[in-house]
């Protein structure tokens, strides 16, 4: 009975009138939209003036008040903590009314929190997508620089995590360059769909006032206006799509982190993530870089979670504005912050690393990497494909039994398996020739890789 009484007392200590606003308010996180909300409000003020709703004096007072609020926020660190409000839009309205009086209330004429909120959200996200794309471009540049620093470095390629045919280090770098190029293309596509003005949709049915929505769109840098007011305020597919594009970007960053962590391990020893010397400072730097890469790898799952959360929320929403939609903000805000810091971290680590070329070259030359070259050699000598494959398997078995690489076998030993093998086989089986043979577009032949590096560099320079 005593425990039950304590439970009742604890329950009674929760005050519903206080708990409910704290549960439904979004100002703690949507204040990120403060500047965007101010810019939207100024543009809408001009639209109300052009529509004859506001006098020139009223419009000037409102715009001056909004500018003053924005300026105050820049130097007053406690500005956002002065009074409890529901969301950033309520905050701006309250501060405006406090500053200029009832004239500030006229800014809400013909609009609503629904279209105001999504407009500020789109404006903010549009500019964050641009920042993310710039950071991804900087990472692409880091890959080009890493490739150029060690153009002739050779890595073993991998299939099923087993050593396979060799590739150039620069070719490996360009693989990630291409992944990031596609990531940026996806972000550009999302940007285009984000860059549509919903303002003027009001609660859902549109506005009664003669607002020139296309002029407002132009003033805010939007490329067009929404064509259906219900859709404009009730759908956040652009937020889902943005997080989805970032999830794929994080897949690529996670793969990069995993590669670098493996290559820096004692088992591989392919790269140095700190200085080359085993000093205390260099060892500390290596550990720090590995820690950072592991965090990048781990944060990918965070973004995947946001994507699932947004999809799950949106699949149940009815056709209208719902309070659930404010939950998009936190997921998108965190996605933006996470992706930006991960891109910066990856570029920083890549700029400070180097390939241990002797180690990687030796690894690339082991493991019968040139078995495919031997098979192709026999086919070019008019040996049927099936016979060529069987012959190579026999030679491989023999080489393994003798503990030799293919190019360490004598000509006589190889001719025991095929009379078509001649002295030119040794140039074919060399590491350099194996690379040079992959000379088609997209291959790892040095001439192709250097062409691809030049093309990649030009593509980035053309963006400037």
Q: Choosing from 26, 83, 111, 160, which is the catalytic residue?
A: 160
Main-chain phi, psi angles of 167, to 5 degrees = -140, 160
Q: Are 213 and 201 in contact (CB under 8 A)?
A: no
Cα separation, 47 vs 38, in Å, equals 14
Angle, vertex CA 431, rays to CA 425 and CA 434, nearest 5? 70
Main-chain phi, psi angles of 43, to 5 degrees = -65, -40
| Burial class for 123, CB neighbours closer than 10 Å (0-12, 13-18, 19+) | buried
Q: What is the biggest distance separating any 2 CA atoms in the chain, rounded to whole angstroms? A: 100
Helix spans in 150-223 (H): 169-194, 213-220
DSSP track, 398-460:
HHHHHT--GGGS-HHHHHTT-TT--TTHHHHTSHHHHHHT--STTS--HHHHHHHHHHHHHHH
The H-or-E segment that residue 149 falls in is: helix 113-149
Helix (H, G, I), strand (E, B) or coil at 154: strand
Examine the residue annotation and report whether 410 is marked as an active-site residue of this protein.
no
The 10 Å Cβ neighbour count of residue 1 is 5
Q: Choosing from 90, 229, 234, 281, which is the catalytic residue?
A: 281
Return the closest-CA partner of residue 431 out of 370, 355, 356.
Answer: 370
Q: Return the bridge partners of 162, or none.
A: 159
Cα separation, 82 vs 98, in Å, equals 13
Phi-psi region of 200 (alpha: psi -120 to 50; beta: other; left: phi over 0): left
The H-or-E segment that residue 273 falls in is: none
Angle, vertex CA 111, rays to CA 106 and CA 112, nearest 5? 105
CA distances from 12 to 1, 6, 19, 244, 315 (A): 17, 10, 12, 43, 37
Examine the residue annotation and report whether 229 is marked as an active-site residue of this protein.
no
Which are the catalytic amino acids?
160, 281
């Amino acid at each position: 009975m005593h425990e039950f009484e304590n439970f009742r007392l604890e329950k009674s200590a929760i005050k519903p009138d206080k708990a409910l606003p704290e549960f439904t308010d979004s100002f703690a996180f949507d204040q990120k939209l403060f500047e965007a909300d101010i810019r939207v409000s100024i543009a809408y003020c001009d639209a109300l003036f052009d529509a004859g709703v506001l006098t020139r004096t009223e419009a000037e007072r409102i715009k001056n008040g909004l500018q003053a609020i924005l300026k105050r926020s820049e130097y007053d660190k406690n500005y956002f903590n002065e009074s409890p409000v529901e969301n950033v839009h309520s905050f701006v309205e309250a501060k405006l009314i406090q500053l200029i009086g009832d004239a500030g209330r006229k800014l809400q004429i013909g609009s609503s929190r629904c279209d105001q909120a999504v407009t500020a959200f789109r404006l903010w996200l549009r500019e964050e997508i641009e920042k993310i794309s710039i950071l991804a471009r900087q990472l692409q540049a880091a890959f080009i620089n890493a490739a150029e620093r060690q153009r002739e470095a050779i890595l073993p390629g991998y299939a099923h995590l087993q050593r396979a045919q060799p590739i150039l280090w620069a070719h490996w770098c360009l693989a990630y360059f291409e992944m990031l190029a596609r990531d940026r293309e996806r972000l550009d596509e999302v940007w285009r769909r984000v860059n549509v003005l919903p303002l003027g949709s009001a609660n859902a049915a549109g506005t009664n006032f003669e607002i020139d929505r296309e002029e407002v769109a132009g003033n805010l840098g939007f490329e067009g206006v929404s064509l259906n007011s219900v859709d404009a305020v009730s759908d956040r597919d652009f937020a889902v799509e943005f997080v989805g594009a970032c999830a794929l970007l994080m897949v690529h960053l996670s793969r990069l982190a995993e590669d670098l962590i493996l290559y820096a391990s004692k088992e591989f020893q392919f790269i140095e993530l700190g200085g080359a010397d085993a000093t205390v400072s260099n060892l500390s730097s290596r550990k720090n870089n590995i820690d950072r890469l592991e965090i990048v790898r781990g944060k990918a799952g965070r973004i995947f979670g946001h994507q699932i959360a947004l999809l799950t929320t949106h699949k149940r929403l009815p056709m209208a504005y719902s309070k659930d939609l404010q939950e998009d903000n936190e997921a998108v805000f965190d996605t933006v912050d996470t992706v930006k810091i991960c891109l910066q971290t990856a570029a920083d680590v890549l700029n400070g690393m180097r390939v241990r070329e002797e180690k990687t070259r030796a690894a690339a030359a082991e493991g019968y990497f040139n078995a495919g070259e031997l098979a192709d050699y026999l086919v070019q000598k008019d040996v049927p494909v099936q016979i060529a494959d069987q012959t190579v398997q026999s030679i491989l078995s023999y080489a393994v039994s003798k503990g030799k690489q293919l190019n360490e076998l004598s000509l006589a030993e190889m001719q025991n398996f095929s009379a078509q093998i001649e002295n030119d086989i040794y140039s074919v089986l060399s590491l350099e020739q194996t690379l040079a043979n992959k000379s088609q577009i997209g291959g790892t032949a040095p001439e192709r890789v250097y062409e691809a590096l030049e093309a990649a560099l030009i593509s980035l320079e053309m963006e400037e």
